[in-house]
Amino acid sequence: MDTRWLDREQLGAWVRLVTVMELLPGVLDSQLRRDAQLTHFDYYVLAMLSESPEHTLRMTAVAQRTGATLARLSHVVQRLEARGLLERFPCADDRRATNARLTEAGWQKVRDSAPGHVETVRQNVIDALAPEQVTQLREITDAILSRLDPDGARAALYTRYDAE
């Protein structure tokens, strides 16, 4: 079978996307690590909890929202728990399940670190784009996600952020 190579336009877009994927996580990570002693993934976990009722979610729910495997999440949550930012307790309904809940310190941490994080996101991404490009970016990433995540397991999350 012969390969359908990328043309110039496609290659240009692809190489830039790869470059962004290579650089952006590092930028987010170092800002949060420096200012809040959190990785970007740590922050995301705490942020997901902070937006949930009771500041509580089941491990599986957090994993879905963050796109992580349960194994990865388990390690991360263990560290966050050791730092007193959240706590785990068994779920009453399903004794297999574990709930994670933000502690007061964790909630404080989210409130303290959110502004700096948003500012970083603005500086490096949002404010670099014209309003119509933000819309285009949403459509493009949506299309890509329909391939990466066909069954829309994670759709639950980002759909929540759409107009109501």
Partner DNA sequence: TAAAACTAGTTGTAGGTACAACCAACGAGG
Partner DNA sequence: CCTCGTTGGTTGTACCTACAACTAGTTTTA
CA distance 25 to 44: 13
CA distance 42 to 63: 12
Tell me the two tokens of residue 100. Answer: 């994670």
Q: Which stretch binds DNA (CB under 7 A): 12-20, 94-102, 115-123, 139-147?
A: 94-102
The answer to whether 122 and 71 have CB atoms below 8 angstroms apart is no
The yes or no reply on residue 4 touching DNA (CB under 7 A) is: no
CA distance 136 to 134: 5
Shortest reach from residue 46's CB to a second copy, in Å: 14
Member of 33, 67, 87, 88 binding a second copy (CB under 8 A): 67
List for the chain the helix, strand, coil content (%; round to 5): 70, 10, 25
Member of 1, 96, 147, 164 binding DNA (CB under 7 A): 96
Q: Which does 161 bind (CB under 5 to 8 A by kind): a second copy, DNA, none?
A: a second copy
Q: Which stretch binds a second copy (CB under 8 A): 50-58, 82-90, 98-106, 139-147?
A: 139-147
Q: Which stretch binds a second copy (CB under 8 A): 52-60, 79-87, 95-103, 113-121?
A: 113-121
